[in-house]
Chain A
Amino acid sequence: GAVVSQHPSRVICKSGTSVKIECRSLDFQATTMFWYRQFPKKSLMLMATSNEGSKATYEQGVEKDKFLINHASLTLSTLTVTSAHPEDSSFYICSARPAGVSYNEQFFGPGTRLTVL
């Protein structure tokens, strides 16, 4: 149980294009989903937190107009990198917290490797 999927696993795009990454909780409902960015050999940096049906809360320094987050349902959140540039290349990981869990256990997706040419 508690499986989180991400799609695509890898994406290569040209500079200036937009890329959408999907995060799904497959066997549970997630009231809260999180998006992280991980640079090579670095820790995870929280980008934003989203609750179903409300606007995402972005961490300081993360451009909300560049990284659009939509938490459309209790099992789906999407991250759209708009007008991507090479510096946006990174490993993006989502996580989901099951509804009703009080101790902030998050289940992580397998990650999406974005390469912007």
Chain B
Amino acid sequence: AQSVTQLGSHVSVSEGALVLLRCNYSSSVPPYLFWYVQYPNQGLQLLLKYTSAATLVKGINGFEAEFKKSETSFHLTKPSAHMSDAAEYFCAVSDQVNTGFQKLVFGTGTRLLVSP
């Protein structure tokens, strides 16, 4: 079974500061990993994905994440936070077995708060 752990339900940063949102995964098979962002009362928007190509993945809005197999981590970073980055962020894992019923397993989410 796969699982995702997101450390910290809330992360607070100042505008312009580094953003670091942590995600650790558990998977018995090679994983696909995703980061999604959710704004209030909206669906999820894909920020970036790891699909076993480059371990450093760049996404939208200046976010990036690095897949570290030895640490089973896929932490999300952004060098300089913007007020518009305030949202809920979800890490998700899926396995690389191409079946008809692949599932995404989500972490519990991290709310990013950005102060002026």
Q: Which residues of A contact B (CB under 8 A)?
A: 4, 6, 31-32, 34, 42-44, 46, 49, 51, 57, 91, 93, 95, 97, 102-111, 113
- Give the chain B neighbours of A105 by CB distance below 8 A: 34, 46, 49
Q: In whole angstroms, what is the CA distance A8 to B19 when docked? A: 35
> B102 at the A/B interface (Cβ < 8 Å)?
yes
Stretch at the interface among B54-62, B73-81, B103-111: B103-111
Q: In whole angstroms, what is the CA distance A113 to B107 when docked? A: 21
CB atoms of B45 and A108 under 8 A apart: yes
Q: Main SS of chain A's interface residues?
A: strand
**A107 nearest CB neighbor, chain B only:** B46
> B35 at the A/B interface (Cβ < 8 Å)?
no
Q: Which residues of B contact A (CB under 8 A)?
A: 32, 34, 36, 41-46, 49, 51, 90, 94, 96, 98, 100-104, 106-109
Q: In whole angstroms, what is the CA distance A51 to B99 when docked? A: 11
Known contacts A104-B104, A105-B49, then 16 further A-B pairs from the complex at CB < 8 Å, ordered by chain A residue: A4-B43, A31-B100, A32-B100, A43-B106, A43-B108, A46-B103, A49-B103, A91-B41, A93-B43, A95-B43, A103-B49, A103-B51, A104-B32, A105-B46, A106-B104, A107-B46
**A5 nearest CB neighbor, chain B only:** B43
CB distance from A117 to the nearest CB of B (A): 19
CB atoms of A111 and B104 under 8 A apart: no
CB atoms of A43 and B109 under 8 A apart: yes
**B107 nearest CB neighbor, chain A only:** A43
Q: In whole angstroms, what is the CA distance A15 to B108 when docked? A: 30
Q: In whole angstroms, what is the CA distance A97 to B106 when docked? A: 16
**A110 nearest CB neighbor, chain B only:** B43
A/B interface sample: 30 pairs, CB < 8 A: A6-B43, A32-B100, A32-B102, A43-B90, A43-B106, A43-B108, A43-B109, A44-B90, A44-B106, A46-B103, A49-B101, A49-B103, A93-B44, A95-B43, A95-B44, A103-B32, A103-B94, A103-B96, A104-B32, A104-B103, A104-B104, A105-B34, A105-B46, A107-B46, A108-B43, A109-B43, A110-B42, A110-B43, A111-B41, A111-B42
